[in-house]
Amino acid sequence: MNTLQLEAQYCAHNYHPLPVVLVKGEGAYVWDDNGQRYLDMMSAYSAVSHGHCHPRLVKAMSEQAARLTIVSRAFHTDTLAPFLQMICEMTGQPRALPMNTGAEAVETALKAARKWAYSVKGVAADKAEIIVCDGNFHGRTISIVSFSSEDQYKHQFGPLTPGFKNISYGDAEALEAAITDNTAAFLVEPIQGEAGIVMPPPGYLAKCAELCKRHNVLLICDEIQTGLGRTGKLLACEHDGVQPDGLILGKALGGGMMPVSLFLSREDVMAVFEPGDHGSTFGGNPLASAVALEAMKVLQDEALVERSAKLGEYMLQQLQAIKSDLIQEVRGRGLFIGIELDPQRASAREVCERLMSKGVLSKETHETVVRMAPPLVITEAQIDETVAALKSVLAELSGEISV
């Protein structure tokens, strides 16, 4: 049996991966089990922003792995505080609560918002509401899928968790109309990644921040995918000049080496957590903290945020210059780009399959969007290679492309 057959036999079928078996990665490249090299335009949905197997991160991880890995939070360790100090100073958030996966950090934010609503804002018991957006993606736990607008994410996973109110994304007036005295928080992605790199109108987040402030509602930004340089700023909310009351980070925080996530917040919000209220066996462990600290240093030392802004603009221009009637729109910010195809004429899955045969790995988001979110260490020449491969795929598919 080959690897694909073995996985098909033993693994739950909750994914539909492209038929490639990866065995090695370095920078923006990955290799399959036949020695074929690919450019990675996915970077694990932004988790591998530093590139694969970054030498400094491999070193930090192996050194820490040989020293101390997991002790739980029952004891202090010498790695957690320096990591949290650095990320708090970088983001301007006074305090952080460490978890592992993105969904856990989102759950942490929801718990913080509810407890803050009861203990600080004065909402009556069990009445707290959290406003979220249609098209959101915040993870896969029961509570989080309860407020997804995507049927498949919640179908037959009920009973669902109450206490959430959906509004349309990008509509600040809808937010104002949805706020009541019981509203604890507004949870939002500055750019919706899983919905297909959906960008709200300019100034949306700033308007939301103003409304939240006026109504004493917490603005919580899920920057698990958009944060840490992906959109050309350290945080995507900076494009709107917004400092959220709560911030959720994950993915690239772990340097592409391991799951590390955080909920960061204001003092009065984080103060709701007392010993025993919340936790995680692995959250903030020495291995994760050492790797994440080094990952943040690499981000600064290699100016990856600035690189994302510059190369993202270049890539967007190159992609927008492609003349193909299969493309409806190319949109994005920094190295976070979505290519929307005409659903009548092309399927994003097929484009991704053909890109793979030309040495470029990407993944469709819904049926119509091809994602381009490479490691931030990608070079201009590698972007050119990707754009050339895409042009050639589109030419094959339409038989009529002029550049």
User: Sheet containing 218-222: which strands, arranged edge to edge?
Assistant: 95-99, 261-265, 246-249, 218-222, 183-188, 129-133, 164-167
For 89, half-sphere exposure in the C-beta direction (CA atoms, 13 angstrom radius) is: 10
The active-site residue out of 40, 83, 115, 137 is 137
Residue with the two structure tokens 């706020």: 179
Asked whether position 250 contacts ligand PXG by CB under 6 A, the answer is: yes
Let me know if 222 is a catalytic residue: yes
Structure tokens at 182: 């019981």
Q: Which is nearer to ligand PXG, 227 or 312 (CB)?
A: 227
115 near 121, Cβ under 8 Å?
A: no
| Rounded Cα–Cα distance for residues 273 and 115 (Å) | 8
Q: Which is nearer to ligand PXG, 43 or 324 (CB)?
A: 43
Interface stretch with ligand PXG, choices 97-105, 150-158, 331-339, 341-349 (CB under 6 A): 97-105
Which of 132, 224, 242, 305 binds ligand PXG (CB under 6 A)? It is 224
Which of 73, 121, 140, 215 binds ligand PXG (CB under 6 A)? It is 140
Least CB distance from residue 48 to ligand PXG, whole Å?
12
Least CB distance from residue 317 to ligand PXG, whole Å?
26
User: What stretches of 320-387 adopt beta strand conformation (E)?
Assistant: 327-333, 336-341, 360-361, 364-365, 369-372
| Rounded Cα–Cα distance for residues 299 and 66 (Å) | 24
Least CB distance from residue 84 to ligand PXG, whole Å?
19
For residue 61, give every residue at least 6 positions away whose Cβ sits within 8 Å of its Cβ, in sequence order, or none.
257, 258, 287, 290, 291
Site string for ligand PXG, 168-197 (x = CB under 6 A): ---------------------x---xx---
Least CB distance from residue 402 to ligand PXG, whole Å?
34
Which of 102, 254, 256, 338 binds ligand PXG (CB under 6 A)? It is 102
177 phi and psi angles, rounded to 5 deg: -70, -25
Which of 225, 285, 289, 362 binds ligand PXG (CB under 6 A)? It is 225
Nearest one of 225, 223, 234, 287 to 257, comparing CA atoms: 287
Q: Which is nearer to ligand PXG, 83 or 137 (CB)?
A: 137
Residue with the two structure tokens 């952080």: 96
Q: Which is nearer to ligand PXG, 43 or 289 (CB)?
A: 43
Nearest one of 72, 69, 66, 184 to 121, comparing CA atoms: 184
C-alpha separations of 245 from 74, 94, 137, 175, 178 in Å: 28, 10, 20, 16, 19
Asked whether position 231 contacts ligand PXG by CB under 6 A, the answer is: no
Interface stretch with ligand PXG, choices 23-31, 59-67, 132-140, 289-297 (CB under 6 A): 132-140
What residues make contact with ligand PXG under the rule CB under 6 A? 45, 101-103, 106, 137-140, 189, 193-194, 222, 224-225, 250
Annotated catalytic sites, by residue?
137, 222, 251
